[in-house]
Amino acid sequence: MEPQFCLLCGARLTKIQIESHLHFECSKCDYIHWLNSRPCVDAIIAREGAILFTQRGVEPHKGDWDLPGGFLELGEAPIAGLHREIAEELGARIEILKFIGHYVDGYGDDPYIKTLNCSYLCKLLSPVRFTDDDVVGYDWFPVDNLPPNIAFAHFKKVFEDCYEDIVAAS
Ligand SMILES: [Zn+2]
């Protein structure tokens, strides 16, 4: 949703371009509302050529298949955030095997929310005990036979970039 009002004084914000990037500035005070991609983490938990997906219980893309993970908290390191998300969503522990890459993506239809996803290849160290938080279920899908309704577009690039690792995972 387009930012409307100044967080400091409540006056209307107006769109501005700074070095070709879109931001918003207050019409009354000096406040600038910077727009940045939001940092997120993804776990590619692989086993025998298959990937563990969670089913989203919330919008956007409610019901679609997601990777375990989520938004980082203020000041949180990506690896700490990934362990926290896996504990919250699945009640499980993981080993992080490898950093795969950074991927920019959208978040639903909102043009003012973009995500910067740090994606890690992982191994499950303990069984999934429950699904909770923003997740209503989970399942394993072979990397060569993924479900059609995958929540976020960058996942396909992630899987390409670590395809050999997924296929070789024990
Ligand atoms: Zn203001």
- Encode pLDDT of 76-123 as tens digits: 999 999 999 999 999 999 999 999 999 999 999 999 999 999 999 999
Domain identity same for 1 and 56: no
Domain identity same for 129 and 141: yes
| Residue 27 alpha carbon to ligand 1 centre in Å | 7
| Residue 112 alpha carbon to ligand 1 centre in Å | 20
| Residue 25 alpha carbon to ligand 1 centre in Å | 8
CA gap 123, 43 in Å, rounded = 9
Domain assignment of residue 111, given as a range: 38-168
Counted domains in the chain:
2
Neighbours of 59 (CB within 10 A): 10
Domain identity same for 76 and 148: yes
Q: 118 vs 28, 31, 148, CA distance in Å?
A: 37, 30, 23
| Residue 119 alpha carbon to ligand 1 centre in Å | 37
| Residue 108 alpha carbon to ligand 1 centre in Å | 28
Q: What is the CATH number of the domain that holds 67?
A: 3.90.79.10
The pLDDT, as a whole number, for residue 123 is: 96
| Residue 44 alpha carbon to ligand 1 centre in Å | 42
Contact status, residue 105 vs residue 126, Cβ threshold 8 Å: no
pLDDT in tens, 117-129: 999 999 999 999 9
